[in-house]
């Protein structure tokens, strides 16, 4: 805390109740001290013969002892916070003058005797951490802000990732993940799923349709190519005579075969069906074949075109995540909220998960204790040392002042009783006492 600031009159004092309590206790202790002074004066003002001499002497001795005890305790209590009556008596105003040393002592005490590994372990073992977490996650009013906070971290996390490096890592990592023997088995399972649903023939039909479209678009070019090949192989004369005919018949044959293959009961479709079944069996039963398929997948994924596509996917994905994370009702917030709720449900239903959470927290906290204790000691010492004298005096007096006023009250009462008892003992021993 910096220099002491005057309280704003428009802002209510948060310590008003403590100030009123301190004023009441202080007034009572001071009133009791004044009562002892009044009794002392009154006892000397009693006319002779009006009361028993023994009673008057006892009252005088008790009241004087109570007054002296009250004065002594008032001086002791006041000396903690300020100079009594403003007189700079040595070893008074202890707290304002020794706040730096008190801060260091308080820091050492808390770190060495309160914030210990044994105490923290005992506290953690008594705490129902899983219950606290479950209760927190079961309340949408808690999980919603937590999910929004987690979603807001996504753009910052992505901002720390260098795009070029991320693209290179993705470009190397994705082929390795998807291009092994396991990916070959995935391809086999996908093909079996297509076959079981009859979708492989739909794929085959689609390929035939696209092939016919391609042939129609390139038919002239293909005929010219065939004529040129005939001229190259048979000579210019033969090529001129039969080249066009050969090209036309070849294209007609291709179209006829493609049309025939489109029929669902064609021999080629049956052969294709049988070939797919054999390939699935090989992929599932022969590791070498699955590895070959995986290697083929890897070669496809490492192609420059696919790598460029992966890079573009990363850029689009990042922009989409950043845009979605900024929306309160975005998918990111919903995903985090659902994950937190699921985690709370799991903790509630799984005792083993609760035990693991407890052990995990303890295993994290325990190694941090030595460094945390040192930092706590420095922190407490620094905070107390940074307070100005008026602030620390005011705060401590508000907190412990009422109890210290009881020291004054007890000192006054005990002095009164002790004075009377001492007088009575001396009187019984020596007969007459000048007290």
Q: What is the mean pLDDT of residues 184-203?
A: 64
pLDDT at 365 over 50: yes
86-95, 229-238, 407-416: least confident range:
229-238
pLDDT for position 2 = 38
Write down the pLDDT at residue 315.
75
The model's confidence at residue 45, banded by pLDDT at 50, 70 and 90, is confident
Which comes out higher in pLDDT, residue 169 or 141?
141
Section 95-110 average pLDDT: 79
**Rounded mean pLDDT of 139-159?**
79
Burial 70-97 (b: 16+ CB within 10 A, else e): bbebbeebbbbbbebeeeeeeebbebbe
Evaluate if residue 64 carries a pLDDT over 60.
Answer: yes
Domain positions in the chain are 16-97+387-430, 163-302
Question: What are the phi and psi torsion angles at 8 (to 5°)?
Answer: -75, 120
User: If phi over 0 gives left and psi between -120 and 50 gives alpha, with beta otherwise, what is residue 264?
Assistant: alpha
Lowest-confidence segment of 113-127, 326-340, 415-429 by average pLDDT: 113-127
Q: What mean pLDDT do residues 355-362 have?
A: 80
Report the b/e string of 375-397 with b at 16+ CB within 10 A. Answer: ebbeebbeebeebeeebbbbebb
Residue 178 has pLDDT above 80, yes or no: no
Q: Higher-confidence residue: 407 or 366? A: 407
Question: What's the pLDDT at 231?
Answer: 60
The pLDDT of residue 30 is 94
- Of residues 431 and 426, which shows the higher confidence score? 426
Task: Report the pLDDT value the prediction gives residue 27, as an integer from 0 to 100.
Answer: 94
pLDDT at 41: 92
Query: In this model, does residue 73 exceed pLDDT 80?
Result: yes
386-426 confidence digits (pLDDT tens): 777 787 788 888 888 888 999 999 999 999 999 999 988 88
First to last CA, the chain: 52
How much of the chain is helix, strand and coil, in % rounded to 5? 85, 0, 15
Mean pLDDT, residues 158-175: 61
pLDDT at 5: 45
User: Who wins on pLDDT, 73 or 186?
Assistant: 73
Give the mean pLDDT of 356-381: 79
Q: Is 46 helix (H, G, I), strand (E, B) or coil?
A: coil
- Look at 366 and 380; give whichever has higher pLDDT: 380
Is the pLDDT at 101 greater than 60? The verdict is: yes
Task: Give me the pLDDT at residue 410, please.
Answer: 92
In the chain, pLDDT over 70 holds for what percent of residues?
Answer: 68
The neighbour count for residue 195, using CB atoms within 10 Å, is 15
pLDDT for residue 3: 40
pLDDT score at 408: 93
Average pLDDT over residues 337-366: 79
Position 216 confidence tier, pLDDT thresholds 50, 70, 90: low
- C-beta atoms surrounding 286 within 10 Å: 12
């Amino acid at each position: 805390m910096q220099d002491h600031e005057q309280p704003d009159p428009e802002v209510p004092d948060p310590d008003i109740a403590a100030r009123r309590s301190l004023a009441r206790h202080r007034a009572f202790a001071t009133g009791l001290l004044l009562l002892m002074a009044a009794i002392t004066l009154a006892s000397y003002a009693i006319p002779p013969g009006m009361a028993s001499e023994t009673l008057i002497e006892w009252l005088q001795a008790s009241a004087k002892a109570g007054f002296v005890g009250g004065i002594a305790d008032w001086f002791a209590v006041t000396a903690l916070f300020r100079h009594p009556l403003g007189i700079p008596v040595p070893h008074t105003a202890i707290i304002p003058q020794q706040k730096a040393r008190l801060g260091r002592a308080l820091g050492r005490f808390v770190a060495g005797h309160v914030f210990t590994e044994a105490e923290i372990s005992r506290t953690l073992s008594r705490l129902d951490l899983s219950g606290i977490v479950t209760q927190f996650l079961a309340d949408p009013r808690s999980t919603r802000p937590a999910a929004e906070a987690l979603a807001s971290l996504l753009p910052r996390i992505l901002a720390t990732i260098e795009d070029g490096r991320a693209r290179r890592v993705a470009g190397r990592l994705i082929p390795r993940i998807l291009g092994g023997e396991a990916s070959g088995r995935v391809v086999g399972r996908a093909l079996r799923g297509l076959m079981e649903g009859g979708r492989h023939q739909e794929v085959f039909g689609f390929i035939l349709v696209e092939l016919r479209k391609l042939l129609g678009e390139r038919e002239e070019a293909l005929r010219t190519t065939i004529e040129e090949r005939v001229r190259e192989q048979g000579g210019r004369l033969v090529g001129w005579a039969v080249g066009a005919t050969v090209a036309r018949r070849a294209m007609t044959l291709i179209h006829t075969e493609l049309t025939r293959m489109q029929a669902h009961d064609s021999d080629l479709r049956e052969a294709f069906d049988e070939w797919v079944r054999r390939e699935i069996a090989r992929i599932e039963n022969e590791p070498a074949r699955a590895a070959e398929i995986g290697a083929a997948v890897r070669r496809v994924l490492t192609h420059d075109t696919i790598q460029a596509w992966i890079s573009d996917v990363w850029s689009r994905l990042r922009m989409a995540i950043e845009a979605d994370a900024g929306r309160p009702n975005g998918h990111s917030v919903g995903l985090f909220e659902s994950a937190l709720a699921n985690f709370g449900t799991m903790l509630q239903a799984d005792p083993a998960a609760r035990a693991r959470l407890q052990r995990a927290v303890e295993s994290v906290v325990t190694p941090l204790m030595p460094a945390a204790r040192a930092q706590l000691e420095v922190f407490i010492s620094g905070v107390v040392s940074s307070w100005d004298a008026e602030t620390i005096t005011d705060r401590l007096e508000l907190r412990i002042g009422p109890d210290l006023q009881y020291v004054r009250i007890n000192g006054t009462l005990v002095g009164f009783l002790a004075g009377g008892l001492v007088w009575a003992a001396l009187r019984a021993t020596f007969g007459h006492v000048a007290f």
